[in-house]
């Protein structure tokens, strides 16, 4: 059984991923606490953490966007429907039978077609919604009259922020679970930490046990 | 002159710091955009405290005011003896030549004011209230709080505009001896002879004895000075018929208040007299219920500026961005609080309750129950367990409260008063609003303000649809307090008001708004976030805002779908994972 090692995630990418993860978890928690659903901290503390985390995340995203465009990594998220049915079948069926993943990662194509769609949804839908609604709330909550001439209503912008937060939570749950679906449960997570993806040499390995530890 | 100079300097400093605060968000944006992570130091940022920014000029002399270069007790004109209070006024006017003219042009004398927003004449005789309803036909009693002298005949009221300059009462405001008393039913005159009075009415007569002694006018005239909380309070603390009855945020606990009751009037601290905020000139006192500046604009009303208009607002001294970063709060907290000031009146957070001085305020009054007598024939009096008077035969039943949480409303400073004689119908709640407040979240002029809303159940003419004026107080048989006959007292009251009366009366619920602006608590007792940012918080019924944490602001379908999707995701992940593990175990 030959093992393939690919250097998939560069240092900045890994820093970006994990700091973003920490910030998003923080913001989800504090956000839903401010929303009235979670407790544990004083409101003032929650609000401050949420706002500071927001600024840090915006800063991080600014660098990440810069990084994606200067390195050309943004192309990783161009959607493709090639093999998409095959990948979907794998998650719905093949994975249970211990079949190997039909998609093979390379540094040029890190993400399978479903991942591409999911990340694109995150980056083009959830993130902008949260950014824009959050910044409007941060700056204009108390000066809303300035924006009402643009046809923006405070409560509607707040609802967009909430809806985007639910989408983010949804993404988070699915993302965390799917990170355990590598050839071992920790394989993907390890790759995200070290940068090195290890995978079985697929054509020679038909053993059903490959899905397990 | 010295004071003025100090003030100007102080407010220049405050002004500079306001501008610094106002620019924070653009400054931040610049920092974020150009320096990215340079944001981090903001965590520990501290605003520069102006080293001499908190030098507040202090009275050297207690509430009496600054030491003056003259000693009134040495003035020949004030040696007396005075046989009438008018003689004292003449003595005053012999030096202060314009004083009476000035007083007679103010609302303290005329009881009239023009409201330019509603194009209404307002004032005690023009509008109704929910306490004694109207001074009309009761003037000889009510003028106990008029800054003038009238006829001492209980049945003869001389209109204010028919009185001469020497009928201005200088002493009621300027007495420093705390002994001067105007006596009810004698037209606002002090006692010039021994007068028998109802025993136990200390609040009205200043004595528990069954008589009042004649005033020593010469002694009082020799001890005059700037008004004090006591002299203002002798009328304004007792409005509505007793201590704390009317306002809720004004009662005699402010004569000598601790810091916890009012940070500015704190007798051991700043010890502000009323006119420190109610800045006055030429006997005109700034800041009144009929002319409220609900949303003062930046700089326009700052002290020390030429155009200082109504200077009796918090912003006059504190500006629009009063919260400073420091040891107690970070700059982000300070700027968040400063953003609140655009929509929320200072009073809303900084007067967490009113009637905090140990005295209750009257919240509800019901005239309909009046008229019951005790077995001995005197009006029935009932006290509750606090010793609060909950029933009095001549007035009806009352509810009292202390440490009251205000009610909150959008308010742009304009009150529309029901003018005496105006037709009015009870609203959907069955209530007539004696004054209605204007304001909305979208007019750009309003802030969320705290109010005491006092309620009554008072006589109403169902045929002519007017609230009724009635003759409460007097020694004649038409007065309600003598005959307990509504028909007679209403007929007499409406006649005095020159208004038609159908002859039918019923009782209708009324309410009246009193903006709360006094009893400013120490900042440690200001409202905390979750007193509003929560379900059923203080602003639960305020519309036009989105309060994170207030469930009524959530969009129901976003919450339902969002929570459902999250639940489905959890379930899906769980089932998927269990199948994976199960089949993996099976394969093994």
pLDDT at B467: 97
Chain B interface, best mutation among A23, A66, A96, by max B CB count within 10 A: A96
Neighbouring-strand partners of residue B419: B127
pLDDT at B35: 43
Q: Which of B58-72, B188-202, B523-537 has the highest mean pLDDT?
A: B523-537
CATH number at residue A165: 1.20.950.20
Buried b or exposed e, range B299-327, using 16+ CB within 10 angstroms: eebbbbeeeebbbbbbbbbebbbbbbbee
Q: How far off is chain A from B206, nearest CA to CA, in Å?
A: 49
**Are B32 and A180 an interchain contact pair (Cβ–Cβ within 8 Å)?**
no
Neighbouring-strand partners of residue B410: B448
Task: Name the nearest CA neighbour of B346 among B308, B311, B320.
Answer: B320
pLDDT at B330: 86
> Chain B residues with CB inside 8 Å of A177's CB?
573, 576-577
Token pair belonging to B234: 């002798």
pLDDT grade for B55, boundaries at 50, 70 and 90: low
A213 falls within a domain: no
- How many domains would you assign to chain A? 1
pLDDT grade for B9, boundaries at 50, 70 and 90: very low
Which of B342, B551, B562 is opposite residue A142, by nearest beta carbon? B342
More confident residue, B23 or B521: B521
Q: How far off is chain B from A34, nearest CA to CA, in Å?
A: 6
Cα dist from A211 to B14, B89, B465, B588, whole Å:
69, 104, 85, 11
pLDDT at B414 over 50: yes
* Beta strand B113-115 pairing with A196-200: unpaired
Structural domain harbouring A98: 3-205
More confident residue, B16 or A180: A180
Q: What is the DSSP string of B127-139?
A: B--SSS---TT-H
pLDDT at B224 over 60: yes
Which whole number is the average pLDDT over B151-156?
A: 90
A128 falls within a domain: yes
A93/B contact by beta carbon, under 8 A: no
pTM for the predicted model, two decimal places:
0.84
Token pair belonging to B578: 């269990």
B587/A contact by beta carbon, under 8 A: yes
Interfacial B residues in 317-356 facing A (CB < 8 Å):
330, 332-333, 336, 339-340, 342-343
Which of A34, A44, A59 is opposite residue B549, by nearest beta carbon? A34
Task: Name the nearest CA neighbour of B270 among B281, B280, B262, B279.
Answer: B262
B114/A contact by beta carbon, under 8 A: no
The mean predicted confidence, pLDDT, of chain B is 86
pLDDT at A118 over 90: no
Q: What is the DSSP string of B431-488?
A: EEESEEE---TTSSS-EEEEEEEEEEEEEEETTTTEEPP---SSSSTTSHHHH--HHH
pLDDT at A209: 40
A33 falls within a domain: yes
pLDDT at B397: 96
Q: Residue B226 in contact with residue B65, Cβ under 8 Å? A: yes
pLDDT at A160 over 60: yes
pLDDT at B54: 61
A94 falls within a domain: yes
> Chain A residues with CB inside 8 Å of B558's CB?
159, 162-163, 166
**Are B333 and A158 an interchain contact pair (Cβ–Cβ within 8 Å)?**
no
pLDDT grade for A110, boundaries at 50, 70 and 90: confident
**Are B562 and A145 an interchain contact pair (Cβ–Cβ within 8 Å)?**
no
pLDDT grade for B150, boundaries at 50, 70 and 90: very high
Q: How far off is chain A from B557, nearest CA to CA, in Å?
A: 10
> How many Cβ contacts (< 8 angstroms) between chains A and B?
111
More confident residue, B375 or B293: B375
pLDDT at B534 over 50: yes
What gap in Å lies between CA B21 and CA B29, rounded to an integer?
14
* Beta strand B407-411 pairing with B447-461: antiparallel
pLDDT at B392 over 70: yes
> Chain A residues with CB inside 8 Å of B342's CB?
142-143
pLDDT grade for B301, boundaries at 50, 70 and 90: low
A89 falls within a domain: yes
**Are A174 and B535 an interchain contact pair (Cβ–Cβ within 8 Å)?**
no
Which whole number is the average pLDDT over B270-282?
A: 89
**Are B32 and A148 an interchain contact pair (Cβ–Cβ within 8 Å)?**
no
Neighbouring-strand partners of residue B404: B354
SS3 B291: strand
Which whole number is the average pLDDT over B440-456?
A: 93
pLDDT at B190: 93
A39 falls within a domain: yes
Number of Cβ within a 10 Å radius of residue B386: 10
pLDDT at A207 over 70: no
> Chain B residues with CB inside 8 Å of A95's CB?
580
pLDDT in tens, B156-206: 999 999 999 999 999 999 999 999 999 988 989 999 999 888 777 777 787
Interfacial B residues in 388-427 facing A (CB < 8 Å):
none
Which of A96, A139, A154 is opposite residue B579, by nearest beta carbon? A96
Token pair belonging to A40: 């544990």
Which whole number is the average pLDDT over A74-98?
A: 83
> Chain B residues with CB inside 8 Å of A59's CB?
32, 36-37, 39
pLDDT grade for B506, boundaries at 50, 70 and 90: very high
pLDDT at A199: 67
pLDDT in tens, A16-57: 999 999 999 999 999 999 999 998 899 999 999 999 999 999
A210 falls within a domain: no
Range name among A128-132, B48-52, B162-166 with the lowest pLDDT average: B48-52
What gap in Å lies between CA A25 and CA A53, rounded to an integer?
10
ipTM metric: 0.85
Task: Name the nearest CA neighbour of B195 among B178, B217, B208, B214.
Answer: B214
The mean predicted confidence, pLDDT, of chain A is 85
pLDDT at B61 over 50: no
A12/B contact by beta carbon, under 8 A: no
Range name among A30-39, A68-77, A91-100 with the lowest pLDDT average: A91-100
pLDDT grade for B15, boundaries at 50, 70 and 90: very low
A201/B contact by beta carbon, under 8 A: no
**Are A98 and B583 an interchain contact pair (Cβ–Cβ within 8 Å)?**
yes
pLDDT at B58: 52
pLDDT at B37 over 60: no
Indicate the helix (H) or strand (E) that contains B572. helix B556-587
B524/A contact by beta carbon, under 8 A: no
Chain A interface, best mutation among B321, B325, B546, B568, by max A CB count within 10 A: B546
More confident residue, B576 or A1: B576
A212 falls within a domain: no
More confident residue, B316 or B44: B316
pLDDT in tens, B519-528: 999 999 999 9
Which of B32, B562, B569 is opposite residue A173, by nearest beta carbon? B569
Which of B339, B528, B549 is opposite residue A141, by nearest beta carbon? B339
């Amino acid at each position: 059984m030959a093992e393939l090692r690919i250097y998939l995630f560069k240092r900045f990418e890994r820093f970006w991923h994990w700091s973003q993860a920490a910030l998003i978890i923080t913001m989800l928690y504090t956000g839903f606490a401010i929303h009235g659903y979670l407790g544990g901290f004083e409101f003032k503390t929650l609000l401050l953490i949420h706002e500071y985390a927001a600024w840090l995340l915006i800063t991080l995203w600014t660098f990440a966007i810069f990084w994606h465009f200067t390195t050309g990594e943004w192309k990783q998220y161009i959607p493709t429907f090639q093999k998409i049915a095959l990948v979907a079948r794998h998650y719905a069926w093949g994975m249970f039978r211990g079949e190997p993943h039909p998609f093979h990662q390379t540094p040029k194509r890190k993400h399978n077609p479903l991942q591409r769609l999911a990340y694109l949804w995150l980056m083009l839908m959830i993130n902008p919604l949260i950014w824009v609604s959050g910044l409007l709330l941060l700056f204009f909550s108390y000066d809303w009259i300035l924006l009402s001439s643009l046809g923006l209503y405070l409560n509607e912008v707040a609802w967009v922020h909430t809806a985007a937060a639910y989408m983010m939570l949804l993404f988070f749950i699915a993302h965390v679970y799917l990170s355990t679906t590598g050839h071992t449960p920790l394989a993907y997570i390890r790759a995200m930490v070290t940068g090195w993806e290890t995978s079985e040499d697929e054509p020679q390995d038909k053993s059903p046990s490959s899905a397990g530890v | 002159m010295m004071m003025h100079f100090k003030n100007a300097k102080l407010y220049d400093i405050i002004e500079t710091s306001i501008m610094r605060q106002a620019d924070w968000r653009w400054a931040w944006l610049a920092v974020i955009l150009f320096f990215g992570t340079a944001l981090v130091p903001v965590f520990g940022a501290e605003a520069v405290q102006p080293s001499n920014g908190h030098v507040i000029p202090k009275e050297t002399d207690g509430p009496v005011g600054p030491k003056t270069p003259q000693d009134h007790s040495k003035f020949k004109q004030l040696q007396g003896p005075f046989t009438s209070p008018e003689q004292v006024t003449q003595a005053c006017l012999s030096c202060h030549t314009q004083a009476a003219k000035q007083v007679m042009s103010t609302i303290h004398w005329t009881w009239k004011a023009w409201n330019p927003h509603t194009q209404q004449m307002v004032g005690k005789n023009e509008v109704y209230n929910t306490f004694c309803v109207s001074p009309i036909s009761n003037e000889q009693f009510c003028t106990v709080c008029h800054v003038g002298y009238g006829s001492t005949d209980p049945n003869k009221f001389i209109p204010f505009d028919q009185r001469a300059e020497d009928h201005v009462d200088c002493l009621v405001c300027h007495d420093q001896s705390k002994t001067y008393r105007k006596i009810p039913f004698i037209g606002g005159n002090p006692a010039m002879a021994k007068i028998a009075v109802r025993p136990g009415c200390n609040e009205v007569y200043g004595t528990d004895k069954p008589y009042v002694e004649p005033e020593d006018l010469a002694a009082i005239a020799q001890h005059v000075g700037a008004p004090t909380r006591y002299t203002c309070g002798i009328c304004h603390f007792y409005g509505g018929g007793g201590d704390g009855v009317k306002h809720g945020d004004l009662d005699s606990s402010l004569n000598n208040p601790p810091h916890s009751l009012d940070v500015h009037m704190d007798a051991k601290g700043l010890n502000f007299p009323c006119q420190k905020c109610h800045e006055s000139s030429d006997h005109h006192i700034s800041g009144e219920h009929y002319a409220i500046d609900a949303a003062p604009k930046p700089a326009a009303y700052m002290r020390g500026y030429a155009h200082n208009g109504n200077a009796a607002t918090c912003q006059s001294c504190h500006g629009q961005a009063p919260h400073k970063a420091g040891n107690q709060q970070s700059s982000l907290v300070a700027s968040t609080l400063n953003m609140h000031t655009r929509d929320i009146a200072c009073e809303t957070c900084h007067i967490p309750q009113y009637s905090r001085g140990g005295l209750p305020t009257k919240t509800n009054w019901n005239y309909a129950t009046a008229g019951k007598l005790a077995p001995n024939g005197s009006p029935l009096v009932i006290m509750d367990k606090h010793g609060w008077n909950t029933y009095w035969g001549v007035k009806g039943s009352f509810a009292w409260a202390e440490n009251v949480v205000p009610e909150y409303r959008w308010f742009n400073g304009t009150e529309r008063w029901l003018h005496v004689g105006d037709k009015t119908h009870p609203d959907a709640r069955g209530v007539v609003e004696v004054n209605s407040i204007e304001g909305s979240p979208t007019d750009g002029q309003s802030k969320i303000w705290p109010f005491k809303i006092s309620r009554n159940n008072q006589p109403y003419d169902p045929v002519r649809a007017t609230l009724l004026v009635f003759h409460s107080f007097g020694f004649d048989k038409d007065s309600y307090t003598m005959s307990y006959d509504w028909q007679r007292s209403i007929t007499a009251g409406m006649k005095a008001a020159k208004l038609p009366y159908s002859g039918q009366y019923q009782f209708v619920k009324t309410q009246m708004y009193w903006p709360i602006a006094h009893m400013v608590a120490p900042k440690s007792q200001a409202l905390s976030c979750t007193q509003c940012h929560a379900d059923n918080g203080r602003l639960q019924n305020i519309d036009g805002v989105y309060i994170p944490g207030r469930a009524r602001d959530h969009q129901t379908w976003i919450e339902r779908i969002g929570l459902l999707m999250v639940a489905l995701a959890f379930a899906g992940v769980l089932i998927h994972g269990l199948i994976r593990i199960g089949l993996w175990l099976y394969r093994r």
